[in-house]
Amino acid sequence: MQTHPNMVIISEECAHRGETLIDIVNRICDIVQDRALQGKNYGCVLIPEGLLNYVAAYKNLINEVNQLFANCSSRKEAKILSQKLYDNEQGVMDSLTPWSYSLYSTLPEFLKKQLLFEREIEGTTKISQIETEKLIAYYVEQELSRRKKQGKYSGSFAPVTHYFGYQGRCSHPSIFDCELASTYGFAAGVFVENGLTAMSVTV
């Protein structure tokens, strides 16, 4: 909140209201449009990284994609399946329910790729690697272009997105943190120097 953003999206509030991604996009566009009328073609929107897990349609899509990878026994097998699905749109259509496929087919290419390729060790979608902020900027830009054609919006829109990830949840390390990290690093170096593998450092 210290950044004084013009809008903060809270995942739990979106879920409570039963919002779709288009609802969220429209709320952002309304603020952009209002600010443009005031000559303020700039602003800051904070978007949580796990937002898509709180939007019902996207949550269902992610769950269905995860099911496709449930039987993969290795990362290599998962990668082969990812490439196969990415290269074969018909295969994706046959594997997903009609509702989820209709959503998948509207996604920009970068998000389709992230949805299929960015996977956790256990095979589920790596939500933190899905660029939700870019997806929202993509849809906001489309909606503002539509409004501009209708004469409702006359501002300029050039989104700059940035993912802060863990930076947004951490503080500066204490002296203890620094000492502990240095000790871990030193001990790990001793292990490597002596050819000790498959071991864990504890202090």
Rounded to whole angstroms, the Cα distance separating 125 from 137 reads: 21
Q: Do residues 194 and 141 share a domain?
A: no
SS3 label, residue 34? helix
Q: Is residue 143 part of a domain?
A: yes
Q: Is the dihedral of CA 138, 141, 147, 153 positive or negative?
A: positive
Q: Do residues 136 and 199 share a domain?
A: no
Q: Is residue 60 part of a domain?
A: yes
**Tens digit of each residue's pLDDT (9 = 90 or more) over 42-72:** 999 999 988 999 999 999 999 999 998 888 8
Q: Do residues 115 and 83 share a domain?
A: yes
Query: What average pLDDT does the structure give for the chain?
Result: 90
SS3 label, residue 46? strand
Q: Which residue has the tokens 């906001």?
A: 140
DSSP run (H or E) holding 11? helix 11-17
Q: How far is CA 189 from CA 63, 102, 177, 180, 192, in A?
A: 41, 51, 18, 14, 5
- pLDDT for the residue 65: 92
SS3 label, residue 6? coil
Rounded to a whole number, what is the distance in angstroms from the first to the last CA of the chain? Answer: 37
Q: Is residue 128 part of a domain?
A: yes
Find residue 63's DSSP bridge partners.
none
Number of domains in the chain: 2
Q: With a cut of 50, which residues of the chain have pLDDT below it?
A: none
Domain of residue 160 covers 7-167
Q: Is residue 2 part of a domain?
A: no
Q: Do residues 61 and 119 share a domain?
A: yes
Q: Is residue 1 part of a domain?
A: no
- pLDDT for the residue 168: 65
